[in-house]
Amino acid sequence: MKIALLGYGKMGKTIERLAEERGHEIVYRIKGNIDNFDLSNIDVAIDFSIPDAAFKNITTCFEQQVPVISGTTGWLERYEEAADLCRKYNAAFIYASNFSLGVNLFFELNRQLSKLMRSFPEYKVAIEEIHHTQKLDAPSGTAITLAEQILENSEKKGWKLDGTDENEIPVTAKRIENVPGTHVVSYDSPVDTIKIEHIAHSRDGFALGAIIAAEWLQNKKGVYSMKDVLF
Ligand SMILES: NC(=O)C1=CN([C@@H]2O[C@H](COP(=O)(O)OP(=O)(O)OC[C@H]3O[C@@H](n4cnc5c(N)ncnc54)[C@H](O)[C@@H]3O)[C@@H](O)[C@H]2O)C=CC1
Ligand SMILES: O=C(O)C1=N[C@H](C(=O)O)C[C@H](O)C1
C-alpha cells in the first residue's frame, strides 16, 4: 500500500517502521496542513495526529476518495458527522479508540464482565487509565470506550473523570513518564475486588492493529470498526 501518515509523532513513526517491514511504502509524513498534499496516488491515510486536526484530516481524505484509518482520540464529539461524510462521499473509514488486538480482546472481556456484574450491585465499578505525560486528552479514548460498554449493561447514568457521584462510573487518569497505555476495570465490594487489566508494553500493538485495519479496508467502501476487522 502507498500510505499517507497524518501525524508523524510517536505513533506515526512506529507505524512507519512496522508498515515498511510489511512491504508498504510511506509516501507522506504530514505534520501540518493536509491541503498542501496531492493524495491522488494514496491507497490509505493513517491518522494519528492531534484532537484539533483529526476531523479536518479525515474529511479531506473522504472528499478525495482516500480510505482513512484514524486512531486520534479527543475529537469524538464529531464522529457521527465524519461517518455521515464518509457515506456521502462513498469513501471508507475505520476509527478505533484502540487498535491493538489485546485491547480489542479486553473490550470483549469488559462487555461480558459487565453483563455478569449487572446482577450484583454490591460491587462498585471504577476505571483507571495510566499514560505517558505528553498525552493531550484525559481520560483516554480507550477508557471512554470501556465506560460506554459498561453503561450498556448498567443503571449508571454516565461516567465522570474523578467522579464521586454513585450514579456515575468514576474514571481516574494518571500520567507517568514513558507509560504506553494501561487500563484497569475494577469491581469493588466490602469483602473483595475483581479486576481486569490491559498493559501495553510498547506502541507496536496499536501500530500493527492500525496497519492490519488499513490492509483490510482496501477495496471496501463504508464505515467499519475493529470488530469487523478482527472478529
Ligand atoms: N487508537 C489507538 O490505538 C491509539 C491512539 N493514539 C492517539 O493517537 C494520537 C497521536 O498519538 P502520538 O503519536 O502519541 O502523539 P504525538 O504527539 O507523538 O504525535 C502527534 C503528531 O501530530 C502532528 N500534528 C499536529 N498538527 C497536525 C495536523 N494538522 N495534521 C497532521 N499532524 C499534525 C504533530 O506534529 C505530531 O507529530 C493521540 O490522539 C493518541 O491518543 C495513540 C496510540 C494508540
Ligand atoms: O495517547 C496514547 O498514547 C494512547 N491513546 C489511546 C487512548 O487515548 O486510548 C490509546 C492508547 O491507550 C495510547
- Tell me the pLDDT tens digit for each residue of 41-90: 999 999 999 999 999 999 999 999 999 999 999 999 999 999 999 999 99
Beta strands 124-131 and 182-188, pairing class: antiparallel
Residue 183, number of CB atoms within 10 A of its CB: 25
Name the residue among 193, 185, 198 with its Cα closest to residue 154.
185
Give yes or no: residues 7 and 85 share one domain.
Answer: yes
pLDDT exceeds 90 at position 22: yes
Name the residue among 60, 104, 62, 96 with its Cα closest to residue 76.
96
Name the residue among 187, 186, 154, 184 with its Cα closest to residue 168.
154
Ligand 1: which atom is nearest the Cα of residue 140?
Answer: 41
Give yes or no: residues 107 and 192 share one domain.
Answer: yes
pTM of the model: 0.97
Give yes or no: residues 121 and 154 share one domain.
Answer: yes
Averaged pLDDT, 7-33: 97
- DSSP for 37-73? S--TT-SEEEE---HHHHHHHHHHHHHTT--EEE---
Provide the annotated active-site residues.
131, 135
Give yes or no: residues 154 and 109 share one domain.
Answer: yes
Give yes or no: residues 122 and 192 share one domain.
Answer: yes
Please tell me the total number of residues recorded for the chain in this structure.
Answer: 231
DSSP letter assigned to residue 147 = H
ipTM: 0.98
Question: Phi/psi zone of residue 77: left (φ > 0), alpha (ψ -120 to 50 degrees), beta?
Answer: alpha
Give yes or no: residues 62 and 132 share one domain.
Answer: no
CATH label of the domain that carries residue 183: 3.30.360.10
Q: Is the CB of 100 under 6 A from ligand 2?
A: no
Average pLDDT of the residues of the chain: 97
Give yes or no: residues 155 and 218 share one domain.
Answer: no
Q: Is the CB of 181 under 6 A from ligand 2?
A: yes
* Owning domain of residue 70: 2-99+204-230
Rounded alpha-carbon distances, angstroms, from residue 119 to 114, 116, 122, 155: 9, 7, 9, 11
pLDDT exceeds 90 at position 178: yes
Give yes or no: residues 94 and 182 share one domain.
Answer: no
Q: Using CA atoms, how far apart are residues 196 and 113, in angstroms rounded to an integer?
A: 9
Q: Give, for ligand 1, the residue of 35, 50, 136 to mutate: max count of ligand atoms closer than 8 Å to Cβ.
A: 50
Q: pLDDT band at 127, cuts 50/70/90?
A: very high
* Cα distance from N-terminal residue to C-terminal residue, the chain: 23
CATH label of the domain that carries residue 66: 3.40.50.720
pLDDT exceeds 90 at position 36: no
Q: What total of structural domains would you count in the chain?
A: 2
Give yes or no: residues 75 and 111 share one domain.
Answer: no
C-alpha 9 to ligand 2 mean position (Å): 13
Give yes or no: residues 113 and 74 share one domain.
Answer: no
DSSP letter assigned to residue 104 = H
Give yes or no: residues 41 and 71 share one domain.
Answer: yes
Residue 182, number of CB atoms within 10 A of its CB: 17
3-state SS, residue 133: coil
Which percentage of the chain shows pLDDT scores above 70?
Answer: 100
Name the residue among 52, 86, 84 with its Cα closest to residue 69.
86
pLDDT exceeds 90 at position 154: yes
The DSSP H or E segment spanning 148 is helix 141-151
pLDDT exceeds 90 at position 92: yes
Give yes or no: residues 23 and 42 share one domain.
Answer: yes
